Chain A
Amino acid sequence: MRRLAFVVAAAWQGFWRNPAMSVASTLTVALMLVLATFFAITNRGLQQAVALLEQKVELVLYLEDSARPTEILALKSRIEADPAVQSVAFISKEQAIERLRQATERSRDLALGELDNNPLPASLEVKLARAQEAGRLASTLRREEGLGVVSEIVDNPAVVDNLLTITRVLSIGGIAVLVMMLLVTLFVIVNTIRIAVTARRDEIEIMRLVGASDRLIRWPFILEGMLVGAFGAVLALTAIGAGAPAVADALTQFAGIVPLDFSPVFLAQLGGAVFGFALLVGAAGAGWSVRAHLTA
């Protein structure tokens, strides 16, 4: 019990012995955490947007009026066999015109008169399980065009393609920035703890002399690193709490489709993750430093 008190007291004193250095490393940790959080939220929003769009992605194969039902069925089951495909629906000429009627009823200026014959083709509507595959599937299916069954293929996954590209670029760029920030943070913590080790050199020498365990000699520094992490996390979460609503508003206005989720559960998870990550980084930096500067 008193040894625990000793470790805590030593860590606390270590933190305040060199306030400038400790505050600097705390700020670095906080900055990294804010960036990481911003990145995580944005990435999550984008991923949700992609998921939302993925549900809507369709390829439509318009069919020749002359196509025979057996040919259509064969084509349908071939498409269904592709793992990227979720489902394939057959829309007959009658269903197509019915849909058009319903759509035009809602907007009166586009009133549809009686038609002598049905100009709309039957079609196969392909729902995709994985939007990334839309391009590949479309180009495969394009080979069916003009063979007597398929008259035309319409795919419009450009939006999804763009969004996927953005997400990918953001992920790679974000991870690169975060890794760099993480290295900077570790570097600062390692140095903070190195200075703390130097400041307590005499005490460490005496502890060795009287037979204190290595663990007891090391733990105050590890805890000091975790303290830097914890303060950084508190700072970061405060900043995020203060700035999040404004940023969320801006993001929603900028891209209405990005569904930013700020439910209490998500916020709690986020806070926990930020805190845990901060403690981990603090302990890792300190452990590294102690390993390098405290070898007997």
Chain B
Amino acid sequence: MIALDDVSKCYPNGAYALRDLDLRIETGEFAFLVGSSGAGKSTLIRLLVRDELPTTGRVRVDGADVAKLKGSAVSKLRQRVGVVFQDFKLLPQRTVAENVEFALLVTGHTGRKEAEAAEHALSLVGLAHRRHHFPRELSGGEQQRTAIARALVSHPRLVIADEPTGNLDPVTSWEIIKLLVRVNELGTTLVIATHNADIVNALRRRVIHLDHGRIVRDEREGQYAA
């Protein structure tokens, strides 16, 4: 699903965020990306959705070399990869249902089947009863679940979450993580960048540890710290 070969990323200001990365994540896997702030987790995620291009090396997602994608192929890639962020990134003027449908609307998927897909995604995250509410009327956890529903609505093969629980209290964080585990169990590959040691330690999943842009640890059933 994800294959990085000798990837480095240097930002225009000369700062190296990633160095000589080799990484494979197979279809259906559930992987944590850990490391202190500035280790390069977000940069890696930006490479996976082609928000940035690698300075050297090759990034392949779902078989495609992201650097070689042109125009609409980039859009197609992003439609196949759902992304969730710490700050939710919801549209405040749109309701929960509209926020989820927005992902379909702006990618040209606007049939009755898609309305059902939105409905389905909302019930999967347990928010069907909130569909007509606006983001400001929701708790943080509900907002994040809306964002997850939006990420899922186009049936992505890969979901990437960048510190999805960073703004949430411990109980709500657990609910969100359990939701993501369920998404993984339904067959979607999951990559989660996180600072939350309790969750990483409790789940005992694959842990990829970044430090100063290098992978310093990659364990099957890892802990947050070595």
Bound complex: CA of A203 vs CA of B91, how far in Å? Answer: 7
Q: Does A293 contact B (CB under 8 A)?
A: no
Within 8 A of B (CB), among A200-223: 202-203, 205-214, 216
Q: Does B108 contact A (CB under 8 A)?
A: yes
A225 to chain B, nearest CB (A): 20
Bound complex: CA of A1 vs CA of B154, how far in Å? Answer: 19
Q: Mark A115-140, 1 if CB is under 8 A from B, else 0.
A: 00000000000000000000000000
Within 8 A of B (CB), among A130-187: none
Q: Are B91 and A206 in contact (CB under 8 A)?
A: yes
Q: Mark B88-127, 1 if CB is under 8 A from A, else 0.
A: 0101000000000011011110100000000000000000
Bound complex: CA of A2 vs CA of B154, how far in Å? Answer: 17
Q: Are B79 and A1 in contact (CB under 8 A)?
A: no
Q: Does A16 contact B (CB under 8 A)?
A: no
A43 to chain B, nearest CB (A): 44
Q: How many residues of A contact B (CB 8 A)?
A: 17
Q: Does B178 contact A (CB under 8 A)?
A: no
Partner of A211, one of B71, B89, B91, B107: B107
Bound complex: CA of A205 vs CA of B46, how far in Å? Answer: 13
User: What B residues does A6 contact at CB under 8 A?
Assistant: 105-106
Q: Are B106 and A3 in contact (CB under 8 A)?
A: yes
User: What B residues does A213 contact at CB under 8 A?
Assistant: 71-72, 75, 107-108
Given contacts A202-B89, A209-B78, 11 further A-B contacts (CB under 8 A): A3-B110, A6-B106, A202-B91, A206-B89, A210-B103, A210-B106, A211-B103, A212-B75, A212-B106, A213-B108, A214-B71
Chain B residues proximal to chain A, CB less than 8 Å: 49, 51, 71-72, 74-80, 83, 89, 91, 102-103, 105-108, 110, 150, 154
Which 9 pairs from chain A and chain B are nearest by CB?
A: A211-B78, A211-B79, A212-B106, A210-B103, A2-B110, A211-B75, A213-B75, A207-B106, A211-B107
